[in-house]
Amino acid sequence: MKVLVTGGLGFVGSHLVDHLCDLGHEVFVWDNLCTESASEDYMREDVVYTKKDVRNICDDEHPDYEVIYHLAAYARIQPSFEMPLEYLSNDIMGTAAICELARKLGSRVVYAGSSSAYGGPMLNPYAFAKYTGEQVCQMYKEVYQMSTVTARFFNVYGDRQPTTGKWATVVGIFEEQTKNMQPLTITGDGDQRRDFTHVSDIVSGFAALGHKDWSQDDKMLVFNIGTGENHSINELADMFTGEKSYIPARPGEARDTLADNSMLKSCTDWKPSTLVTEYVQSFIDSVKKN
């Protein structure tokens, strides 16, 4: 298929591009490299790249994409408190632009949602923007009979994850602190629980949702991509075996997240293949070797 990946130079997006190319698809990417996790280092010779803002995507000519995988967004909760207008504009209006392009081309849309929606969309600008993006997709589905579907990601980690800066993942932060022999910084009491999901499992589930036409199903379709198991931040720190350092809790974050992935399993042949315990142990072993 001809497929478009927005945000295809980011942490998750670049892995999705690799996965889709491995499946034999013709892949096009839009990414304006506006986040710390995006890098030109992930570019491939067999992919067509456009480095522009996704909000302006309808201004250009496009091939007839069969599927648009929409990941382009400002991510992470804490930075959204500092720049809410940017989050609302990019994540909501960017999604509207993608749906409008898909309407014109007859493309299916697979939207990257966030598990932050379960904590409540009013907790922070990021959760609100991502949840509203889901509603934009659903409106286009109901009004224009388009095929749109949402996949909510649960705490993605793995190769290419940001390890420093505003967009760093907690697994990435712990990796960086472990390599530098620093204490592992834990926000709050550390008993908050997260469903840590490897990026390879995220992209395989996300890609699978693009292989089906969902336009005939009039209800809102939201699939969870997570392992179905969660660990506390304290438990994650124990896997790294480092000294702990506790800092004040941050606003706007859900206490616990846990994916019910049964619908994704029943509608596709997807199942998670990587456990965070195995991943961290592999990282620890590599650090010891070096």
2-289, superfamily in CATH? NAD(P)-binding Rossmann-like Domain (3.40.50.720)
> What pLDDT is attached to residue 218?
77
Q: Which pLDDT tens digit goes with each residue over 163-183?
A: 988 878 999 999 999 999 999
Quick one: which of 86, 61, 105, 74 has its CA closest to 6? 74
Question: Given a cut of 90, is residue 19 above it in pLDDT?
Answer: yes
> Band of the pLDDT at 91, cuts 50, 70, 90?
very high
Interhelix angle for 170-179 vs 233-240, to 10°? Answer: 30
Pseudo-torsion of CA 59, 150, 270, 284, nearest 10°? 90
CB distance 152 to 223 below 8 Å = yes
Is pTM beyond 0.85? Reply is: yes
Q: Which pLDDT tens digit goes with each residue over 213-260?
A: 999 887 889 999 999 999 999 999 999 988 999 999 989 999 999 999
State phi, psi for 71 to the nearest 5 degrees. -115, -15
> What pLDDT is attached to residue 277?
97
Distance CA 72, CA 94 (A): 8
Q: Can you give the residue ranges of every domain in the chain?
A: 2-289
